[in-house]
């Protein structure tokens, strides 16, 4: 991946629906170059797909949080497997330091969110957790 690929990916991150002509103009290259690069990035898996992003005010799952999780011993894989099946878990990240896993959580209401936390805290291999509600989003 070179600088042109990185610039192209940056533009697509900002708006994946940007036309090839507009991308070519912003990058100062031919349309064919943009089409070929996007095709290659899709084929090699660098671009895994395109998604829809909603403003937080529109998202029906209004309560969002990050949960940091510590697990016992070498049981992180078991915890990840368990959490992958939970519909409230939007993403899972392994990390270093005090915490082993960071889970991105979403729920429609605070009451539902309370149930999510209780459910996750019942996973036997989770030794400690800390949860922070996300109040505002500044960059999307």
What confidence tens digit (pLDDT) does each residue in 78-113 have? 999 999 988 899 999 999 989 999 999 999 889 999
CA of 3: how far to CAs of 6, 10, 72, in Å? 5, 10, 42
Residue 49 within any structural domain of the chain: no
Asked if 102 and 69 count as a contact pair (C-beta separation under 8 A), the reply is: yes
Phi, psi at 80, each rounded to 5°: -60, -45
Say which CATH number the domain at 28 has.
Answer: 1.10.10.10
Residue 122 within any structural domain of the chain: yes
pTM: 0.61
Domain that holds residue 14: 3-43
């Amino acid at each position: 991946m070179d600088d042109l690929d990185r610039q192209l990916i940056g533009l697509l991150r900002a708006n994946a629906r940007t036309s090839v002509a507009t991308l070519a103009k912003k990058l100062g290259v031919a349309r064919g170059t943009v089409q070929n690069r996007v095709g290659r990035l899709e084929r090699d898996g660098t671009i895994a797909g395109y998604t829809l992003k909603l403003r937080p005010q529109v998202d029906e799952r209004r309560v969002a949080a990050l949960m940091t999780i510590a697990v016992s011993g070498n049981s992180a894989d078991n915890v990840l497997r368990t959490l992958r099946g939970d519909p409230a878990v939007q993403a899972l990240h392994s990390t270093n330091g005090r915490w082993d896993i960071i889970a991105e959580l979403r729920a429609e209401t605070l009451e539902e969110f309370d149930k999510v936390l209780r459910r996750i805290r019942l996973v036997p291999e989770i030794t400690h957790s800390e949860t922070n509600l996300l109040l505002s989003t500044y960059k999307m």
